[in-house]
Amino acid sequence: MSLSFSHTIQLSALRLLGKGFTALGFAGIHRIAGVLGAVLWYCLPGRRREAVQRIQEHLGLSRHEAVCAARASFTNNAMSFLEIFLVPKLLGVTDPRLRDNEDKERFLRLIAGAERPVIAALAHFGSWELLASLKWENKDRPLLTVVRQHKNPAMNTLIHELRGARGMTSLDHRNVSVSVLDLLRQGGVAAFLVDHNCRRRDAVFLPFLGKIAAVNKGPALLAVRAKAIVYPLYLERHEDQTYSMIMGQGLDTAELDGSLSDRVSAVAEFYTKAVEEQVRRKPEQWFWMHRRWKTRPEDEEAR
């Protein structure tokens, strides 16, 4: 997509700023994120109140506990956004910053093979930008991430450049069904963020943290059509600037029974419950500022 003159100037400035952020490294970015998180906490009182209220409502925490979790989430969210500038410094799944654990070993074994197509169900949890940009050295197993475009064309171009710094391919979430199905039928891996609000026509309505939410059924539909295995996948952040990969047990969609609608709903319920489990375990690492329950079922709005 060609950019207008003003957006080209913006992109040049953003690239220069991005190089400065990248040069700061992990320690520098995390220090800035700490400051930015505090600024957001004090400068966005509406989002602050909403985050605290959601944590109280959906997790049943006390006011004090909810405030602490919400404030920590603002800092973690700032880190998640700024960590995109660290993608060029990330070596991949063998980076020493990724702690060795059983889930990491399972993930390495998964990507080493090429027998079955895989959908990785990601969430706005922990360090999602670094996770979505990880690249591995198995050229026989194609990988792509499906993401939403930024509204600003210059910012969108920069984000795609940074996400692709380690060789990752990312596609806009609109009209990608054919490309994703083709990749899955080659035994590839497609990664989706599955915990954001979506339009009613794209949704199946399921319980999430105690309240019905609009769950994007697109990844579930593609998984069923490709007979893929669905794996919940997250990158948890630690205070020492290291990360732990968390990989849930897979759901083999080829083993599901029922109509297409039933199977799609079962897959969507599977990855929604997986996200809920992580949010309950580490609420400070989820994106509470997001208006997750905005889209309501049609019968509810009619009342």
Full DSSP string of 197-250: ---GGGEEEEEETTEEEEEE-HHHHHHHHHTPEEEEEEEEE-TTS-EEEEEPPP
What span, in angstroms and rounded, lies between the C-alpha atoms of 50 and 296?
Answer: 17
Lowest mean pLDDT among 3-12, 106-115, 190-199, 240-249: 106-115
pLDDT at 280 over 90: yes
pLDDT given at position 231: 96
Work out the pLDDT band at 159, boundaries 50, 70, 90: confident
pLDDT at 37 over 70: yes
pLDDT given at position 211: 96
Strands 203-208 and 211-216, sheet pairing? antiparallel
pLDDT given at position 46: 95
Strands 211-216 and 243-247, sheet pairing? unpaired
- Asked if 155 and 84 touch (Cβ cutoff 8 Å), the reply is no
What span, in angstroms and rounded, lies between the C-alpha atoms of 216 and 18?
Answer: 32
Mean pLDDT (the chain, rounded): 89
What are the φ and ψ backbone dihedral angles of 196, each rounded to 5 degrees? -100, 160
Compute CA 157 distance to the chain's CA centroid, rounded to the nearest angstrom. Answer: 19
Work out the pLDDT band at 90, boundaries 50, 70, 90: confident
Strands 229-237 and 243-247, sheet pairing? antiparallel
Each residue's pLDDT tens digit, 114-157: 678 999 999 999 999 888 777 665 566 778 888 777 777 777 78
